[in-house]
Structures are given as C-alpha cells and as structure tokens.
Structure 1
Amino acid sequence: MTTQTLAPPAHRRARLLPSVSSVPRYRLLVPLTIAFAFLVTQGVVQAVTPFIRQDDWTFLLPDDQPNVAPPRYYNISEGRWLNTGWWWLVGQHGTPTTAALTYALGYALLVAGMWRVLRRSGVRPGPVVDAVLGVALYASCVWVQLLYWPGALTPSVLVGATAIWLLPWAARSRLRMALWLLLSGVAAVLSYPPIGVVLLIFAVVHLRDAPWRQVLAVVAGWVVAFGTGILVAYTLNWIFNQHFGIELASWRQANPLNSVDSLNDNVGRWLDSAQALWRAQWWVALVGLVAFAVGIRDRLVRPRLLRLLAAFVVACGLDAGQTIVTGAVTEARGQLWTWLVAVLPVAFLLLRRGRTDPRAVRVLPAERVPALLLAVLAVVGVLSWRADIGAHQATRVQYAAIAAQATAPEAGDPAVRIVVYQNWYVKGSRDGALMASTMFMAVRQATGGVQPRWCR
C-alpha cells in the first residue's frame, strides 16, 4: 500500500544529494577567482619582479655574505628554526623570483583552504557572492605587507596551507585534532607565530556551533601547542647557542617585566599599538561591527559569532600578553587575524538556510547585505594591495636605476670596486640601515655579484 505523501526512494535520494553540475562549477570557481585576485591586486607583479626587504636576503643567499646577517641570528633573536631549515634546503639555492613565486603559490593554496573550510561550515552562497567572498579572503590589507619577505616567510605560508587543508581530516577524531593542534602550533612558532593564530580561528570556525566545552578544549589545546613551540625554540637555542630563551633584537626595544614601572610602561605600549592598529584599519572594524550587529540577532548565526569572538579574544590576549611580558610590540603586519574580524562575521551572514538551487546565479535577498559588505572589503582590499605593491615596485625601480647608473662601465671596463657614501646623520639610524642595505643589494644585482664597500 502506498500513499502520495511519501516520495519514491530514488526521488528522495536525488533531493538529498548535491547537484552534479554544482561540484565542477565550484572547483572551477575557486582557481579562477584566486587567479583573478592574483592579477587584479598586482600580486603577479611582486611575484615576477619582487621587491625584497633588506633582512630577507639572509634567507636568499648562501651563508657568510658581507653585510647580510646569518640565518642563525634569527634563530637566537626570533626562534625561526624552521625558516633556517628551509633556507638550508631550498632558499640559498634559489633566486628572489623563485622565492616570490613559491610564496605566491603557497598563499593561493592557503586562501583556497580557508575558503574550503567556510564552505564545509555551511557558508555556501551563490557563485557571484561566493566569488566576491574569495576575493575578500585573498585581498587582506594586512597580508600584503608580508610579500616582501618571501625567503623568510615561505615556510610559514606553506605550514598554514598544509594545516588548513588537513583541518577537516583532523576534526574527525579527538586524537587527530590533538595531533593537528600540536604539529601546526609548533611549526607556526618555529616559522612565523602569527600564522598559528589564523589556524586557531579557522579551527573554531570549523567547529560550527559545537558545544562550548569542545570549543574551549580546542582553544586550550592550541595554547598548549603554542607554548610547546616556544619551549622547542628555547631548547634548540640552548643546545646550539648556549642560551635558553630568545634574545630580542635591539630595535624591538624590549622592556622585560620585572617591576611595577615596567608593567605600567608595557601596558601603555600595548594600548598605544592597539590604538594605532585600529585607527589604521577603522573601516575593517566598522564592517565587522555591522556584520556582528546584524548576525547576533539571528539564532542561526549567533552561536557561530560568539565562538568566533572567543577566538578573537584569545588572539588579542596573546598579543597583549607578549607585549606586557617582554615590552616588544607586534608590528601591524604581524596582526594577520585583524582582517578576519571583518571577513568572517560577514561570511557567517551567508550561512545556508534550507535548500537553495546551486545553479542560481542571481543574488538572493538574504545575501544582499553581506554581499554589499563583502564588496566593500574586496574593493578596498584590492586597492590596498595595488597601492602597497605599487609603492614598493616604484622603490625597486628607483634603486635599480641608481645602481645601474652608478655601476655603468666606463670606456668598456666593468666596475671592479664600488664605494657607497651615506650622510653621517642617517647612517646610524634604522632607516639609514634599511636604505643602505637596499642599495647594496641593488648594486649586487646590477653588477652580477660585486659587493660594494663603505666610503672611508
């Protein structure tokens, strides 16, 4: 006996399974969107003709080069042991261009992985809004500031990309998740600690609206893993450099916490840095607040936002704790999580509600507000990338022109000895050191390896 209220089994299965045409469309949308972002942000320009910051040459040249700090310096001052391993295996054997291309590829994989985690968490808008979301994820106005250290930071972006792609696999069991937290946390500390904060945030995103005890367990596990990474760095320094700890560089102006006065000073430093950070990114904070105000009233979105807020509190607390204990302030480019303060709350407004046609191209009414906010983030992010990369490319061209003119052969004889002079009131400053190092490397590239010397 049958009734018309029960659908045939085949029909029920067809309704539960995703559309066959939607899977290839999504797989095509991701690489096309990231390729578009790579082009429109001028990331391709930095990848093909990279501007290299002066302290990144350490990880692009063989050891014991004149006027270049050895990799072991960053082991003792920052705990970058994984970066040193990458330099030994890859970095010193490549070129600035190969390093920049590798970094660009790693970043693209990282963005694709973050996008994938959002889709697995229920953020599945139509293709137009989804593409805007992908551009907004890519065009972080903070991350663009890291492009000029491809030699040093490629290991961190590869660690992030690998970890973010393994996150769904790790989340299937407690043991896998514990292993993921440990390995990704230690690797982040030994390469570039801010990447670890990004991984924590996406681990919380992947939990969806899991019970709070599970969220807090993941946060606690991440804190333990981060601390383990610090312990590993300290131990390696003790074994190879006879110092258990980190000796911060003088330019960081460390102020160890050893008195009430140092506590007051360090708290003031952190407050000043936080104020400067959000003053520069006020529009990011504004978009995030608008998305939070809209989403907190939604029963579907509210649990996700509250758990995300907890992850942001941990990120903020870690930054504050570091400054209060050491006196060293994290520069704005190290606050990678701040871009997510806007992108992720907006993405949560796109959480899938019921059945939608994956083939629909038009923007649904429920997607209009988050689509507008994502468009703001994408457009301003792209403009930030273009402005930042454009300024650095102009500097690269300027230094290259000066070096080419100064080292041009006279009477057909190539320059054998090149002397550099710098005004005495600039030479001893940090800015003077940056300018001098950039010029020295421009001369080396223009002459095929001739090392300049200072005017006596």
Structure 2
Amino acid sequence: MTMASETIFEAPATRQRLAIVFLSTYVVMLMAAGGGQIVDPFVHYDDYPALVLYPEGYYMKTLAEGRWLNYWWHLRGVFTPPWFNFQLYVIGWALFSAAASLSIFRTSDIRYPGLLAALLVLAPQTTLISGWFNTLIPGVWLMAAYAATTLFVSARTGSLLLLVFVPLALQTYSSYPFMLLAICMMREDQEKSLTTLVGLMALFTLSFGLGILVIYSLNFAVHEIFGVALAGWRDPEPASDLTGLIHNLSKTVASLTQLYSMTGFGKPALSAMIATAFLASLVAICRKRPIEVLFILVPAIAGLGLLCLHSAAEGIIFPFRSTYFVWLTVAISVVRAVQLREPGNGSAPFALTLMFTLTVGAMVRVHNQGLSIWQHETRLIAAQIPATAREIFIHGTHLAINGPSGPLTQSPGDFQYRVTYLTSIWAEMCTEDPESCEGVTPPFEPPVSGDPLLILQNDESVFIRLPITEIES
C-alpha cells in the first residue's frame, strides 16, 4: 500500500479523532475563559484598530514589525462584534492545538493528544496575548490551516509546506514560524535522524529567510526602507560594537528571567515545578529515544536564540508573550515522556500530568476572572456618562482591581479606548498626555493614588478620576 493510499484510508478515522480532540479543546478554552470573557472579552488598546476597522491605527506596524498580513486583515471592511471575533480566535486556536497534537501522537491512545492539546491552549503566553485576539485571528487560522493540512499529508509534503506557511506566518507574529517547525519536527511519522534534523533546519532557514525578504521588499516598496524600523515604545539601544552588545546583555537576561517567572504565572513554586517536570521529561525521553530530545529542543532553541540575539543587538526586552514556542516544547516533552513511561507505572504519570493541566487551567481562569471584573467596572463607568456629553477627560491611570497595579494586562490606554468604544465619545488620558488636556481644568484636585473613583460633569464635558495614578513596581 502506498503512502498516498494509506493517507486516504486513514482519513476518516483521523477526521473523527480531530473532531473529538478539537471539541474537547474548545470546551477547555471556554471553561478557562469564563462567561464574562465569552460575552464581553477584554481588548487591549492597540487591538481596537482591528476591531473597529481602522487600518490607519495599525499601518506603522508594517514598518516596525513587518506584519503585513495583519494589516490586510484590517482592510476587510466587515465589522463584527468582539464576542464573535473572540470565538473566531478561540476556535482557530483550538483547531491548531488539536491538529498539532494529533500530528505528534497520530496512532496513540486519543487521551495523549487530548491532554497535549489542553496543555497547549492553557499556556500563560497565550493567556496574556489573548487581549489582541482581534488582530491575531489571521495568524491563528494560518497556523490552524498548516496543522490541519499536514495531518492529512506525508511528512515530506508537510515539510515542504513550510516554504509557503512560514513566510506568511512571519507577517502575522514573529514567533509563529517556530511553532510550525516544532509540529513538522515532532510529527509521529517524521524520520528522527541527524540527517533529517539538518535537512529540516536548512528548509526552515530558507523559508524564514524568504519571509524576511518578502517583508523587507514590501517595506521598501511602500515605506522606501529595506528592513524594519523598531517602534520607539520598545526603547531600543542598538549595539554598534562588542561593548554595546555586552551592555545590552542585561536586557537579554531580564527577558529570560521574566520568561522563567511568568511561565509559572508569576508563582515561584509553579515555575520551579514546571522547570523540574520539563527536565525530568527530557531525561525520561533520552533514556528511550535520545534523538527525539534534539527534535523537541531545536525549535525552541532556534526561536529563543533568535530572540536573545535580537535583544542584545537592538537593546530591547523581548515580551514574554512572544515565547509561546517554549511552552509548546515543554508540553510536548512532558506528554511524550508520560506516553513512553514504563508499563509497570500504571496510570499515575498520566494522572499527575492531568492534575498539572488542571492547575494551569485554574491559573488561567483566575486571570480571566480579573479581566471580567475590569470589564464589568468599565461598563458601569461608561453607563454613568450622559448622552449629552461631547468630551471625556480622564485623570489617573488605572482602576484599583486585583491589587494596586491592576490586572496583569491593564494599562492606561486600555481604559481610554474601552471608554471611547463603549460611549462613542473620544476620551483623553490627561495624566498620560497632559498636552491633550491643556487649558481644561478638572473640577477636582489633582488625583493621587488611593483617591476614590469620581465621575463629574461640567456642561458637555465629563471628568473621570481613577483610583491609581502610577504603576507600582
């Protein structure tokens, strides 16, 4: 029987397994999100252009980050509400995770790909980045398309598809290509040898280089700059020599420290437990399938190495949310080690991994509950703004939710754009941008942290005083 005929023969069973794992993963995501996020999902301030179809607000990211596919998504011209977009994002993410997990565990008991898919969608990185779900829809569905397609084709065809999908994925989010590489390397029917490893890395490097060339060419054609220009908010300090590189290493170290801490949702004990489980799983795999350890680690090493190089060269701290491929590596390693366990161990390793997954899911749920509280509070504030208002002036920066620093993802711009979206009245953030409020005197003393929330109207102007005026470190 040929490979093609085997693929056709197995397709119905594979589709059935995909449907089961997808539905279970989708349910996991909904449970972790909670009803508040499903009905009224949290939106970051710089995700609003994708929601309200304002491509001009995203345009400069094509030059700063080369995200042309995301920009073209902003031009779609059809408005859809946040809850609908959130479901598009969640469904795409669940499909990617389910298809990727089944590709890695093609012929094993379905509980292994089911467990892996649940771990993948509960990643702390995806939990934090979900606030940009309106913008990320094309990228998530592009990855889902690759994962689902390669599930029904040979390993060789799946590898060649990197030439198409990696350049496209690079135009949505820079870390996505490494996730595609991980799927390609760890799919169950992929030959695991040093020759294969070198060949796949060469093909990926070619695909990645092609993506860079496409982005640089588009930027040159449109912006007349052959390359990218980092945005000012990243506070770059480009290194011009070895001394500069050494100086910037402190930012690289800070990035890696944040990666370790936030992988455990900021809980030292959980970070240590995850690191220990990861190392133990690598040892367990190495005892039985040593070559697999390389296939598991190489995508993460390549992605993290590129981030560290970029951090040192440009003098920037790379965000934790860009390191999802690290979680992908950890999850694959842990579940693969459980699958390769000694028969005499029974179901204890699987049960422990399931408990770990439930713990991570609980952390995600707590995070999302904090966001839902914030959404509820901002709805109440917006409801107090009269329809006769023509302008809104905000003093302070944050609401006092989940402690003095607010929710983990809360920023001044989030409140500003949230109020603007809910009221259809542009809100000025006076504490952050005093010039925009110049000549307008609020009907209260300058706020200090700890002052209660206050909403006052003066003719057609509404003034909001928030409880927090600065972020506590």
> What is the TM-score with the length of structure 2 in the denominator?
0.77
Query: Distance in 1 between the 2:143 and 2:50 partners?
Result: 19
Query: Distance in 2 between the 1:58 and 1:381 partners?
Result: 31
Which one has more relative contact order, counting CA pairs under 8 Å at least 6 apart?
A: 1
Query: Distance in 2 between the 1:25 and 1:226 partners?
Result: 33
| 1:51 corresponds to which of 23, 42, 46 | 42
Residue 357 of structure 2 corresponds to which residue in structure 1?
Answer: 378
Asked if 1:397 is matched to 2:383, the reply is: no
Query: Distance in 2 between the 1:114 and 1:243 partners?
Result: 37
SS at match of 2:381: helix
8 A Cα contact 2:49 2:57, kept in partner: yes
Moved over 6 A (4+): 22-25
| 1:143 corresponds to which of 122, 126, 139 | 126
Asked if 1:76 is matched to 2:63, the reply is: yes
Residue 302 of structure 1 corresponds to which residue in structure 2?
Answer: 290
Residue 189 of structure 1 corresponds to which residue in structure 2?
Answer: 170
Deviations 1:62-94 (A, max 9, x none): 338xxxx6221111111110001111115x622
Q: CA deviation at 1:190?
A: 0.5
Residue 93 of structure 1 corresponds to which residue in structure 2?
Answer: 79
Query: Distance in 2 between the 1:159 and 1:397 partners?
Result: 33
Asked if 1:159 is matched to 2:147, the reply is: no
| 1:60 corresponds to which of 51, 59, 64 | 51
SS at match of 1:41: helix
Alpha-carbon spacing, 1:305–1:245, altered in 2? closer, same or farther (3 Å)? same
* Pairing of 1:357-372 with structure 2 (within 5 A): 365-366=344-345, 368-372=347-351
SS at match of 2:124: coil
Alpha-carbon spacing, 1:294–1:423, altered in 2? closer, same or farther (3 Å)? closer
Q: CA deviation at 1:400?
A: 2.0
Residue 289 of structure 1 corresponds to which residue in structure 2?
Answer: 279
SS at match of 2:318: coil
Alpha-carbon spacing, 1:324–1:375, altered in 2? closer, same or farther (3 Å)? same
* Pairing of 1:377-456 with structure 2 (within 5 A): 377-405=356-384, 407=385, 409=386, 414-423=387-396, 435-447=411-423, 449-453=424-428, 455=437, 456=440
Residue 9 of structure 1 corresponds to which residue in structure 2?
Answer: none
Query: Distance in 1 between the 2:103 and 2:356 partners?
Result: 19
SS at match of 1:445: helix
SS at match of 1:247: coil
Unaligned runs of 5+ in 2: 1-8, 264-270, 399-405, 429-435, 441-473
8 A Cα contact 2:63 2:223, kept in partner: yes
8 A Cα contact 2:116 2:332, kept in partner: no
Specify the code of the residue in structure 2 equivalent to 1:151: N
Residue 247 of structure 1 corresponds to which residue in structure 2?
Answer: 229
| 2:91 corresponds to which of 91, 105, 120 | 105
Percent of aligned pairs with the same amino acid: 21
Q: CA deviation at 1:140?
A: 1.5
Deviations 1:146-191 (A, max 9, x none): 11101211111011101111224554546x633x112111111100
Query: Distance in 2 between the 1:26 and 1:314 partners?
Result: 31
* Pairing of 1:336-351 with structure 2 (within 5 A): 336-351=324-339
Alpha-carbon spacing, 1:222–1:126, altered in 2? closer, same or farther (3 Å)? closer
* Pairing of 1:110-121 with structure 2 (within 5 A): 110-120=96-106
* Pairing of 1:324-343 with structure 2 (within 5 A): 324-343=312-331
| 1:237 corresponds to which of 186, 204, 219 | 219
8 A Cα contact 2:164 2:207, kept in partner: yes
Please identify, of 259-268 and 147-156, the stretch whose mean Cα deviation from structure 2 is larger. Answer: 259-268
Deviations 1:222-280 (A, max 9, x none): 12211221221121111111222211111212122311221102222212211221133
Asked if 1:125 is matched to 2:109, the reply is: yes
* Pairing of 1:212-291 with structure 2 (within 5 A): 212-281=194-263, 282=271, 283-291=273-281
Deviations 1:23-66 (A, max 9, x none): 797456314422330232125642431110000012122338xx
Q: CA deviation at 1:365?
A: 4.3
Aligned positions, number: 405
Alpha-carbon spacing, 1:310–1:441, altered in 2? closer, same or farther (3 Å)? closer
Alpha-carbon spacing, 1:26–1:242, altered in 2? closer, same or farther (3 Å)? closer
The alignment yields a C-alpha RMSD, in angstroms, of 3.1
SS at match of 2:105: helix
Q: CA deviation at 1:130?
A: 5.3
Query: Distance in 1 between the 2:383 and 2:227 partners?
Result: 44
